[in-house]
Amino acid sequence: MTTPLISIIVPCYKQAHFLKESLQSVLKQTYGHWECIIVNDGSPDNTGQVANDWCKKDDRFKYVSKDNGGLSSARNAGIKASNGTFILPLDADDLLHKRYLEYTVPVLYKNNELAIVTTYSTFFEGSLENVIHQLRPQGDTYPYLLYVNQLVATSLYRKKCWDEVGGYDETMKKGFEDWEFWLAVTKRGWKYKVLEEPLFYYRKAKKSMLVTTISRDAERVKEYIIHKHRDIYIEDFDNCIKVFTHYLTTSRKKEQCLQNSLEYRLGKIILKPYRILERILNKK
């Protein structure tokens, strides 16, 4: 096998304090034919200084600085500056197993039907010893991605696929941009492969774009994805109705449980005098 050049794209915004650890996991890769492009997305911290220190340490590290435009914009900027055949996005607070590229590159290289190779992911908080979850993706085609994003953003893929779909959607600034990207790629007939090895480490942060999206913007972002890729959701219409009916039923049950809880009833009792006072004041 020849050794294709891998472009590892590391956007950074307010994550300079994690960047060193992330880049160290890149440097430790047993597969050595890579470049790592650090993208400073207008970060107000010392991202530039950290990045330049690493560029001096190893000339495989490169630095791109741009005005803040969001994660999709930063990834696109890094990929535009890249020279690799395959792309691996890596967020500035996450880590790679030292054999990530050694295991994934040959699989993608040898199978022309594959667009993406991903692995099991370990979610940790604080340190790698504090494991809180392991993600084990399933499937190999887009129907497996319609309702749940099986693939983490840090998955190896062909740069030609990024060209085909026009890159990451830069209007998506609330998260799930990687999910939309995987759908855009796989609905063209490309497949993905899951390696059953925990080779990626995802840092679970109390505050992150993903946490914010899930808590506040998930429904609106999902609606955008469904509208953008309505062709494949219409194709799966019967199952789509079942899935959304299940979501509604589950949501209603959760709401009923909340309303029947002691905390909810006590809250209503405590707030009742304030609501009466509010009505009286509004009448004046």
Q: Is 115:158 a contact under the CB 8 Å cutoff?
A: yes
> Which run of H or of E encompasses 257?
helix 237-259
Residue that is last in its domain, among 210, 229, 258: 210
Residues 251, 138, single domain; the answer is: no
Is there a single domain that holds both residue 22 and residue 148?
A: yes
Judgement on whether residues 32 and 107 belong to the same structural domain of the protein: yes
Rounded average pLDDT per 10-residue block, the chain, 284 residues: 93 96 98 98 97 97 97 98 98 98 98 98 93 95 95 98 98 95 98 98 72 69 95 93 79 66 54 55 55
- Number of domains making up the chain: 2
pTM score of the predicted model: 0.85
Answer yes or no: is 225 within a domain: no
Report residue 140: phi and psi, to 5°.
Answer: -155, 0
265 in the same domain as 146 = no
Buried b / exposed e over 113-151, threshold 16 CB at 10 Å, is: ebbbbbbbbbbbeeeeeeeeeebebeebebebbbbebbb
Residue 191 and residue 128 in one domain: yes
| CATH label of the domain that carries residue 160 | 3.90.550.10
Residue 66, in any domain of the structure:
yes
Residue with tokens 């597969």: 31
Strands 86-89 and 127-135: unpaired
> Do residues 188 and 250 share a domain?
no
Say yes or no: 254 and 133 in one domain: no
Query: Is 222 among the domain residues?
Result: no
Per the structure, the complete domain to which residue 54 belongs is given by 6-210
Cα distance between the two ends of the chain = 82
